[in-house]
Amino acid sequence: MNIHKLDLLLPIRKKLDALEIHNYKLARFLCRVIPASCPFESEIKLFGELIIYIPPLCKFNPLYDQLIGLRFRAICYLDRQSLNA
């Protein structure tokens, strides 16, 4: 039995994966907008004791891997630009 999975985000994923960074301002913008670590992970402490730990939820984002890859390409572009300067 062959079941085809319908992936509605596939075109967006492909565009994000194919995006090349050739602009310094765009690379800086992407590095500012896309966080390096999950901003939702947190610990709630009371009197120094851990009460609640909220794990990182970014892995539930269906575009997480593409966004992290895009941020990495932007960082690499900025690094190449700083070496050439």
SS3 (DSSP) at 20: coil
Average model confidence (pLDDT) for the chain? Answer: 87
Annotated domain spans of the chain: 21-84
Q: pTM for the complete prediction?
A: 0.78
pLDDT interval class at 1 (50, 70, 90): low
Residues in contact with 43: Cβ distance below 8 Å, sequence separation at least 6, in sequence order: 50, 52, 53, 54
